[in-house]
Amino acid sequence: AAVKRYQFDIQVKNVSRLCHAKPIVTVNGMFPGPTIYAREGDRVLINVTNHAQYNMSIHWHGLKQFRNGWADGLAYITQCPIQSGHTYTYDFNVTGQRGTLWWHAHIFWLRATVYGAIVLMPKQGTPFPFPQPYRENNIILGEWWNNDVEEIVKQGNKLGLPPNTSDAHTINGKPGPLFPCSEKRRTRKDLSLLRIINAALNDELFFAVAGHNMTVVEIDAVYTKPFTTQAILIAPGQTTNVLIQANQAPGRYFMAARPFMDAPLTVDNKTVTAILQYKGIPNTVLPVLPQLPLPNDTAFALSYNAKLRSLNSPLYPTNVPLKVDRHLFYTIGLGINQCATCLNGTQLTASLNNITFVMPRTGLLQAHYFNIKGVFTTDFPDRPPKPFNYTGAPLTANLGTTLGTRLSKISFNSTVELVLQDTNLLTVESHPFHLHGYNFFIVGTGIGNYDPAKDPAKYNLVDPPERNTVGVPTGGWTAIRFRADNPGVWFMHCHLELHTGWGLKTAFVVENGKGPNLSILPPPKDLSPC
């Protein structure tokens, strides 16, 4: 095992896209930011120095951070933000994980421009469980706004409306040749491993390459049973590794992405492209566009997700909990609350079990570790206050939510099943839920209301996909399981930035275990107070 060191300088830089220049927050002046390379077993030290006038914190999305929430990088959850002029070192080990993950700012909407890839190679001498690719490429899907994102969000909040959708989607920071003032990008030929990351703020995306099938081999840094597909579906927060063979007529082919547009409040169907170009082909050859599933192709989404299976091999077994100690049932709601400072007196809001999460002013992990009272409570309800017809009730049912910084306490090493149930309180919409500090197993999913009498019989307890982010289907439910073996305070939220901002989030307090090396590590010396 090696020690890998990185220096991240947070700085503002002028960047121009779609013929609009604007200052953006970057790491080392790069957009997207630098890639972190490490091997399973390595220790990684990332020194973040904040030269910008914004508070900052950086999250290593999908890294489990065993006992080490201090390196999770969530402003006001696991640390106080890194203030302008200050430095904080993220210090963590890569244990039992290999594949593609990513990093992003975890404070307000700054992840719009502050993000990059994490490439975790398997241990030295351990090959991939699939053919060795000749080369690799990171494909980071993102979004671009011509105007200042913070201003757009503030404006939306004031009006009690969702902010404007982005002006373009991006691949590795660029909207592609279908948009004005957009550079062309090309990738070369051969068997390639594409490490695809969805860093978009608010869109689940389809991605395809014209004329080429892709073989999915890994999701969220977990190997899968390989399967071939024309397109993939990827939610914000998720990563997907695919193999692609350049075995077609030499030419130029578009790779493209566009939203799985199941969000009625945010109509957005812009297509981002980049070019896959075979060697020796002139730049003047017209590229071919791929067939992407239609924006409302729910059938594709369901069948694609059903194909995702853990590898479950002797070397990479699937340790899905077969028995459950703690059953949780959380409803996902979007609604409207009163708002004194808003123009029309109301604001859009989001909730779990009708509770809208209120961000604390002190880091929750600090409050837990140092036993600071009054920062949060641990009375988050295990199920909604009263059951109702979640996907069939009229839109006006259950509109008001209560506010609170309420968490759920989980015993160390207990097995947890959480059913996330979408509702049609205001709109019916799909939600990519991300749990920090863990991977979980997606044991079941369905459309309509979850039925505790019938649905568990249909669970996959053999090779369920293991991920850190799961899309809860529109008007449906998803059941996940995990073993609570990582003590700390772990955030869980919808990875649509819009919904996180509206309060679609909570956290688990996983208690310390008894015995050596089963409690939260002491905090690092440079951890700053709020």
| Residues at the contact surface with ligand C2O, assessed by CB under 6 A | 59, 61, 104, 106, 237, 434, 436, 491, 493, 495
**With 0-12 CB in 10 A as exposed, 13-18 as middle and 19+ as buried, what is 306?**
exposed
Greatest Cα pair distance in the chain: 67
Q: Which CB sits closer to ligand C2O, 104 or 189?
A: 104
State the pairing for strand pair 87-93/415-422: unpaired
Contact yes or no for 243/131 (Cβ under 8 A): yes
Q: Which residue is nearest to ligand C2O (CB)?
A: 61
Contact yes or no for 75/107 (Cβ under 8 A): yes
Distance between CA atoms of 4 and 93, rounded to whole angstroms?
A: 10
Cβ 65 to ligand C2O shortest distance, Å: 12
Contacts of 466 (CB under 8 A, 6+ apart): 220, 222, 310, 318, 320, 439, 440, 441, 442
Contact yes or no for 40/94 (Cβ under 8 A): yes
Cβ 168 to ligand C2O shortest distance, Å: 21
3-state secondary structure of 504: coil
Cβ 496 to ligand C2O shortest distance, Å: 11
Q: Which CB sits closer to ligand C2O, 196 or 292?
A: 196
Cβ 296 to ligand C2O shortest distance, Å: 26
Cβ 197 to ligand C2O shortest distance, Å: 10
Distance between CA atoms of 100 and 196, rounded to whole angstroms?
A: 8
Cβ 419 to ligand C2O shortest distance, Å: 21
Cβ 523 to ligand C2O shortest distance, Å: 20
Distance between CA atoms of 69 and 335, rounded to whole angstroms?
A: 32
Q: Which CB sits closer to ligand C2O, 114 or 275?
A: 114
Q: Which CB sits closer to ligand C2O, 231 or 507?
A: 507
Q: Which CB sits closer to ligand C2O, 478 or 500?
A: 500
Q: Which CB sits closer to ligand C2O, 34 or 226?
A: 34
- In order, the DSSP letters of 380-432 are --SS-SS---TTTS-TTTT---EEE-B-EEE-TT-EEEEEEEE--SS----EE
Cβ 105 to ligand C2O shortest distance, Å: 10
Q: Which CB sits closer to ligand C2O, 31 or 103?
A: 103
Cβ 103 to ligand C2O shortest distance, Å: 9
Query: Residue 54 corresponds to which tokens in the numbers above?
Result: 């914004």
Q: Which CB sits closer to ligand C2O, 114 or 311?
A: 114
What Rg do the C-alpha atoms of the chain give, in angstroms? 22
Q: Which CB sits closer to ligand C2O, 64 or 493?
A: 493
Print the SS3 string covering 430-492: CEEEEECCCCEEEEEEEECCCCCCCHHHHCCCCCCCEECEEEECCCEEEEEEEECCCCEEEEE
Q: Which CB sits closer to ligand C2O, 220 or 463?
A: 220
Distance between CA atoms of 11 and 3, rounded to whole angstroms?
A: 25
Contact yes or no for 212/246 (Cβ under 8 A): yes
Cβ 59 to ligand C2O shortest distance, Å: 5
Contact yes or no for 451/391 (Cβ under 8 A): no
Cα dist. 335→331, 376, 383 in Å? 12, 23, 18
State the pairing for strand pair 115-121/99-105: antiparallel
Q: Which CB sits closer to ligand C2O, 76 or 253?
A: 76
Distance between CA atoms of 313 and 226, rounded to whole angstroms?
A: 12
Q: Which CB sits closer to ligand C2O, 432 or 464?
A: 432
3-state secondary structure of 237: coil
Cβ 236 to ligand C2O shortest distance, Å: 8
